[in-house]
């Protein structure tokens, strides 16, 4: 009996050691590749989306030939995955019937997460008022009475 | 109808600037020939302000929306002052609101500015008919406003159609340009009526403002 236990215990210990090994065999492996997708939303300054507008993407190494072309969806959205091996300024042009804009996105270590153009309503109002005041001032200057 | 930077080849932009320079020179020469031209500067300045902000007043024309241009009105009321006024207005629109661009300023001035000289000639024709008739002023005011914006739309469409880059789908862009031109048809009528109303109103309350032209 004693002899039997002496044989059994090391065997059980050995089995315990084997259990984690078995668990390792069921481990998971994750391979990953980072794909940076650029999502753009193109709208007219009225807030109306540029649905169906054409998108032309230029890579930094060849600013004259398009790297990718596409079309915005009905909500003016377009997504693409740039080639991260080409760091620099990527240019994205959105165009519809001669209207549109060009945005330059820097791809590299210091890539901005979001960005965009356009002004807030307040900024537009302030600029418009300043502009109008300039014209009114000119009018007042030239309509002053001669001394 | 403002073409932004980067949408036209450099040659077209340069040609636009050349035509704009020649038109500005001609307008200023004509203004210089007038006696007391300084008296018209306040009126020109205020109408430039109107032109400057009016591009924010959008009129929904489904599926697009268009904005008033007022170039016919400027032509009718300002005469040779109208082209420099539009050039200045476009410059501030480009710098402040990014409506149009600085490289395309010349082309945009040609699109919106050249027809104003035509509008001026049309409005001046009213003097051939009976003077001081409200109906005559209304009719020629309408024609000035109508022709001013109509010629602008035609110039805009022709310049865009002849300069579609090969990078994009040409047929889609052509269809979009035609759709935009079609959306401007109601605007052409609105500008005509608006110019007629303003000129008739001014003839009633302050005819002197129309006399300079």
Portion of chain B with pLDDT greater than 90, in percent: 53
Q: Determine if residue A123 is left, alpha or beta; phi over 0 gives left, psi from -120 to 50 gives alpha, anything else beta.
A: alpha
ipTM of the complex: 0.80
Q: Which residues of chain B have a CB within 8 Å of the CB of A128?
A: 52-53, 56, 96
- The total of other beta-carbon atoms located within 10 Å of residue B149's CB is 30
Asked whether residue B1 is domain-assigned, the answer is no
Structural domains of chain B, count:
1
CA dist., res. B195 & res. B133, Å (int): 16
Q: Read off the pLDDT band of B212 (50, 70, 90).
A: low
As a whole number, mean pLDDT of residues B19-27 equals 96
Q: Is the pLDDT of residue B60 over 90?
A: no
**Contact call for A139 and B168, based on CB within 8 A:** no
Two structure tokens written together for A114: 């979001």
How do residues A17-68 score in pLDDT, each as one tens digit? Answer: 655 555 555 677 777 766 678 888 888 877 788 888 899 999 888 888 889 8
Q: Is-contact A40 A78, C-beta < 8 A?
A: yes
Q: What is the pLDDT of residue A16?
A: 60
**Contact call for B97 and A127, based on CB within 8 A:** yes
Q: Is-contact A98 B156, C-beta < 8 A?
A: yes
**Contact call for A136 and B46, based on CB within 8 A:** yes
Asked whether residue B199 is domain-assigned, the answer is yes
Q: Is-contact B55 B99, C-beta < 8 A?
A: yes
Query: DSSP letters along B53-72, please?
Result: HHTT-EEEETTEEEE---HH
Q: Pick from B65, B97, B169: which is nearest to A48 by CB? A: B65
Q: Is the pLDDT of residue B43 over 80?
A: yes
Which residues partner with A106 through β-bridges? Answer: A89
Q: Which residues of chain A have a CB within 8 Å of the CB of B153?
A: none
DSSP B81: G
Closest CA to B64 of B150, B187, B179: B179
Which residues partner with A104 through β-bridges? Answer: A91
| Structural domain spans, chain A | 38-131
**Beta carbon pairs, A and B, within 8 Å:** 89
How do residues B160-187 score in pLDDT, each as one tens digit? Answer: 999 888 888 888 888 889 988 888 898 8
CA dist., res. B213 & res. B209, Å (int): 8
**Multiple choice CATH, A38-131, 2.60.40.1180, 3.40.50.170, 1.25.60.10, 2.60.40.1120:** 2.60.40.1120
Q: Is the pLDDT of residue A133 over 60?
A: yes
- The total of other beta-carbon atoms located within 10 Å of residue B53's CB is 19
Portion of chain B with pLDDT greater than 70, in percent: 96
Determine the structural domain holding residue B68 and report its residue range: 10-211
The H helix count followed by the E strand count for chain A is 2, 6
Give the CATH number for residue B81: 1.10.1760.20
Q: Is-contact B204 B134, C-beta < 8 A?
A: yes
> Cis peptide leading into A90, omega within 30 of 0?
no
**Contact call for B42 and A139, based on CB within 8 A:** yes
Two structure tokens written together for A106: 């820097």
Which secondary-structure segment (H or E) carries A128?
helix A121-143
Mean of pLDDT over chain B: 89
Task: Check: pTM over 0.90? Answer yes or no.
Answer: no
């Amino acid at each position: 009996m004693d002899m039997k236990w002496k044989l059994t215990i090391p065997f059980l210990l050995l089995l315990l050691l084997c259990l984690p090994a078995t668990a390792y065999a069921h481990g998971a492996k994750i391979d990953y590749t980072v794909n940076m997708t650029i999502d753009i939303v193109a709208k007219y300054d009225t807030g109306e989306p540029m649905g169906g507008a054409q998108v032309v993407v230029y890579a930094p190494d060849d600013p004259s030939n398009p790297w990718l072309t596409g079309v915005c969806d009905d909500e003016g959205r377009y997504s693409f995955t740039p080639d991260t091996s080409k760091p620099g300024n990527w240019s994205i042009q959105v165009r519809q019937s001669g209207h549109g804009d060009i945005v330059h996105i820097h791809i590299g270590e210091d890539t901005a997460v979001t960005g965009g153009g356009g002004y807030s309503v307040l900024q537009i109002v302030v600029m418009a008022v300043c502009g109008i005041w300039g014209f009114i001032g000119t009018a007042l200057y030239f309509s002053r009475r001669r001394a | 109808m403002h073409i932004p930077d980067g949408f036209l080849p450099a040659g077209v932009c340069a040609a636009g600037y050349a035509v704009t320079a020649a038109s500005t020179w001609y307008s200023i020469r004509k203004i210089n020939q007038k006696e007391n031209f300084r008296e018209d500067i306040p009126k020109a300045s205020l109408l430039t302000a109107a032109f400057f902000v009016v591009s924010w007043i959008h009129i929904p024309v489904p599926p697009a929306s268009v904005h008033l241009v007022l170039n016919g009105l400027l032509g009718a009321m300002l005469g040779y002052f109208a082209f420099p006024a539009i050039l200045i207005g476009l410059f501030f629109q480009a710098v402040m609101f990014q409506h149009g661009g600085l490289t395309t300023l010349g082309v945009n001035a040609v699109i919106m500015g050249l027809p104003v000289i035509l509008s001026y000639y049309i409005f001046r024709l009213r003097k051939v008919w009976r003077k001081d008739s409200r109906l005559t002023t209304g009719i020629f005011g309408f024609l000035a406003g109508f022709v001013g914006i109509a010629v602008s739309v035609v110039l805009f469409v022709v310049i865009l159609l002849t300069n579609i880059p090969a990078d994009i789908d040409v047929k889609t862009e052509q269809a979009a340009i035609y759709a935009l031109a079609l959306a401007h048809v109601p605007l052409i009528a609105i500008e005509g009526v608006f110019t007629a109303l303003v000129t008739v109103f001014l003839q009633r309350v302050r005819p002197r403002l129309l006399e300079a032209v």
